[in-house]
């Protein structure tokens, strides 16, 4: 089977440059005393894997620290704050907007070693997790109690709770149930000062400002979540998964709008276009008709059986009116799992079509889907690229994947232009820049399309209220933020330290 596609990173070349200057060894020694020398990475070959997440940019840290507890995180942050060194929180590195990249150098604090489920309280539908717990592992632990954790990004077998909190992650089943912010009751947070504080708690609706809500989705610019109190949900008693195949994507898009317009809110309503189907079906054998122009996955759950049946029938009738060439209800759990395996494996399967892809994330009103998707195809054709679409159709959250080969001269620059044009298209259609991937460094310069200078200044005041300023995940979210730190921070020398202080 061909290799999986890999995202292109701005500035990649055959001769990859080494990371920035080696940090002063006094700092490595101090960090080693906090977390253990084995949990401090500084050699160039160790830092390479921390230059990237799954977006198009890159940024090399000067060192990486892997703490094992909230107290170790706090001690590391205090040391960095005292030395004036920028810190960048990082989870599993599956982010898609560059939020975990060290664009200013400095210190990456990875939370992957903090992966314990600290508490599971089935009676109160609550779980308490460390930030490095893998998303899918929480649902697996809760399943024996008839519970699960609803937010389900496609990377849920790898992505972690801390990263989900930072990016306010979504997923296919968030159409009806909401995204991460709807499932975070409280947080223990390490502020930029190194102080550990609690926001919220185990009970919803606590008095005072909703600082928990402000922190979720702050992309690591306010602090680092060290414990997360999560709301669990009961597993649905019955689930109906419908595959609807259409000759054209326009027909599928109009069916989506009419399903929601009829008053139905399925648990999931996902679309894959013809190009994506051509990649997925040989790799996953999900059962998608290979000649379809688009397929919809419609999932109805959590309703009384009779009402669930009525909604499933109504959704199928709408699809028929819009020219569906095939309608199929998964009769066995194995068939349902195959259908979803195709959806969740779609991005990786694009490696069958091209060696690189650039995945975008924008939101448009559902009624604008046919028009916007046509324009996305036109933009790709104008620049000479095929675009594969696989996305959360029910809430208009698009994920165009621009397929290309970085070895072709000029391809990278054209891909970036395609991305900018598609993002502008989403905004002009009445949508926004992200549904679940965040702004990070990828789309920060587009924020002025949505917000005035006064709007952005108000957001900056909130960041300062958390005490974060520019040393905490610098160069992210706001326009011009990256340019402000491009000269880079350097880990300072400390006078009077001799060889006896080195590692």
Domain-embedded: residue 437 = no
C-alpha 342/C-alpha 284 separation (Å) is 6
3-state secondary structure at position 408: coil
What CATH number is given to the structural domain containing 399?
A: 3.30.70.2740
Sheet of strand 63-65, all strands in order from the earlier edge strand to the far edge: 40-41, 63-65, 107-110, 87-90
- Asked whether residue 264 is domain-assigned, the answer is yes
Give how far the C-alpha of residue 482 lies from the chain's centroid of Cα atoms, to the nearest Å: 20
**Residue range(s) defining the domain that contains residue 424:** 354-428
User: In terms of domains, do 80 and 145 share one?
Assistant: no
Q: pLDDT truncated to tens, each residue of the chain (503 aa)? A: 333 333 333 333 323 333 344 457 788 999 999 999 999 999 999 999 999 898 878 899 999 999 999 999 999 999 999 999 999 999 999 999 999 999 999 999 999 999 999 999 999 999 999 999 999 999 999 999 999 999 999 899 999 999 999 999 999 999 999 999 999 999 999 999 999 999 999 998 889 999 999 999 999 999 999 999 999 999 998 899 999 999 999 999 999 999 999 999 999 999 999 999 999 999 999 999 999 999 999 999 977 788 889 999 999 999 999 999 999 999 899 999 999 999 999 999 999 999 999 999 999 999 999 999 999 999 999 999 999 999 999 999 999 999 999 899 999 899 999 999 999 999 999 999 999 999 999 999 999 999 999 999 999 999 999 988 888 999 999 997 655 554 344 444 433 333 333 23
Number of folded domains in the chain?
4
| CATH code of 101's domain | 3.30.43.10
Nearest CA among 82, 97, 149, 107 for reference residue 22 = 107
Same domain, residue pair 132 and 212: yes
- Co-location of 142 and 214 in the same domain: yes
Residue 456 covered by a domain: no
* 123 and 102 within one domain: no
> What HEC string does 232-247 produce?
CEECCCCEEEEEEEEC
Residues 339 and 410 placed together within one structural domain of the fold: no
Residue at which a domain ends, from 372, 404, 428: 428
Counts for the chain of helices (H) and strands (E), in that order? 16, 21
Q: Please give the C-alpha separations between residue 414 and each of 69, 381, 410, in angstroms, as whole numbers.
A: 44, 11, 6
Query: In angstroms, rounded to a whole number, what is the distance separating the alpha carbons of residues 293 and 389?
Result: 11
Distance of CA 262 to the CA centre of its chain: 30
With the CA atoms of 57, 63, 66 and 69 taken in that order, what torsion angle do they form, in degrees rounded to the nearest 10?
-110
Does any domain span residue 452? no
Pairwise CA distance, residues 83 & 104, whole Å = 15
Query: Position of tokens 């389900």?
Result: 152
Residue 57 CA to its chain's centroid (Å): 15
Q: Which residues pair with 129 in a beta bridge?
A: 117, 228
Domain end, chosen from 234, 249, 271, is at: 234
Within a domain: residue 435?
no
- CATH number, position 204: 3.30.465.10
Q: Indicate if 135 and 185 belong to the same structural domain.
A: yes
DSSP H stretches of helix in 345-410: 346-349, 369-383
* 443 inside domain: no
Same domain, 164 and 272: no
Q: Are residues 365 and 341 in the same domain?
A: no
192: nearest Cα among 459, 462, 469, 461: 469
Q: Are residues 246 and 336 in the same domain?
A: yes
Spell out the alpha helix ranges (H) of 392-476. Answer: 411-428, 453-465
- Which residue, of 180, 199, 234, is where some domain finishes? 234
**Both structure tokens of 102:** 């060290």
Are 231 and 185 in contact by the 8 Å Cβ rule? The answer is yes
Both 342 and 288 in one domain: the answer is: yes
Q: Are residues 222 and 317 in the same domain?
A: no
Residue 442 lies in a domain: no
Calculate the alpha carbon distances from 221 to 32, 85, 113, 452 in Å.
25, 14, 21, 20
Cβ of 201: how many Cβ atoms within 10 Å? 12
| Domain CATH number, residue 275 | 3.30.70.2190
The region, left, alpha or beta by phi > 0 then psi within -120 to 50, assigned to residue 496 is left
Residues 394 and 476 in one domain: no
Whether 359 maps to a domain, the answer reads yes
């Amino acid at each position: 089977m061909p290799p999986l596609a890999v995202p292109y990173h701005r500035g990649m070349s055959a001769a990859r440059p080494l990371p920035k200057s080696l940090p002063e060894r006094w700092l490595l020694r101090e960090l080693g005393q906090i977390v253990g020398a084995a949990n401090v990475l500084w050699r160039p070959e160790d830092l390479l894997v921390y230059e990237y997440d799954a977006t198009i940019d890159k940024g090399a840290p000067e060192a990486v620290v892997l703490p094992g507890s909230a107290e170790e995180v706090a001690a590391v942050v205090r040391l960095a704050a005292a030395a004036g060194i920028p810190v960048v929180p990082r989870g599993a590195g599956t982010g898609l907007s560059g939020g975990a990249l060290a664009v200013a150098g400095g210190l990456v604090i990875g939370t992957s070693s903090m992966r314990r489920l600290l508490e599971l309280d089935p009676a109160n539908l609550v779980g308490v997790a460390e930030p490095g717990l893998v998303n899918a592992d929480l649902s697996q632990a809760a399943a024996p109690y008839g519970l699960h954790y609803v937010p389900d990004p496609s990377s849920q077998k790898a992505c972690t709770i801390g990263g989900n909190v930072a990016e306010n992650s979504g997923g296919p089943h968030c159409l009806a149930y909401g995204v991460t912010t709807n499932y975070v009751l409280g947080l223990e947070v390490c502020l930029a000062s190194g102080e550990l504080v609690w926001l919220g708690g185990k009970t919803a609706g606590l008095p005072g400002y909703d600082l928990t809500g402000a922190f979720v989705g702050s992309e690591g610019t306010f602090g680092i979540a060290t414990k997360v109190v999560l709301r669990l949900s009961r597993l649905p008693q019955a689930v109906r998964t419908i595959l609807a195949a259409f000759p054209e994507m326009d027909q599928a898009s109009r069916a989506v709008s009419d399903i929601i317009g009829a008053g139905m809110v399925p648990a999931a309503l996902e679309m894959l276009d013809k190009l994506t189907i051509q990649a997925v079906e040989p790799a996953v054998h999900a059962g998608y008709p290979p000649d379809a122009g688009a397929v919809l996955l419609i999932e109805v759950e959590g309703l009384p059986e009779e009402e669930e049946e009525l909604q499933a029938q109504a959704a199928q009738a709408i699809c028929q009116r819009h020219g569906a060439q095939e309608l199929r209800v998964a009769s066995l759990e194995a068939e349902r799992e195959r259908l979803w395996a195709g959806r969740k494996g779609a991005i990786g399967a694009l490696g069958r079509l091209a060696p690189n892809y650039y995945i975008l994330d924008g939101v448009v009103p559902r009624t604008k889907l046919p028009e916007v998707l046509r324009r996305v195809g036109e933009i790709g054709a104008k620049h000479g690229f095929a675009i594969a679409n696989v996305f959360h159709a029910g809430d208009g959250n698009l994920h165009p994947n621009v397929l290309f080969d970085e070895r072709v001269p000029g391809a990278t620059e054209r891909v970036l232009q395609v991305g900018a044009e598609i993002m502008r298209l989403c905004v002009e259609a009445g949508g926004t820049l992200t549904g679940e991937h965040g702004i990070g460094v990828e789309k920060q310069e587009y924020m002025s399309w949505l917000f005035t200078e006064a709007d952005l200044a108000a957001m900056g005041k909130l960041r300062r209220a958390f005490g974060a300023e520019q040393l905490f995940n610098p160069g992210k979210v706001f326009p011009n933020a990256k340019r402000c730190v491009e000269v880079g921070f350097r880990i300072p020398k400390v006078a009077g330290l001799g060889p006896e202080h080195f590692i």
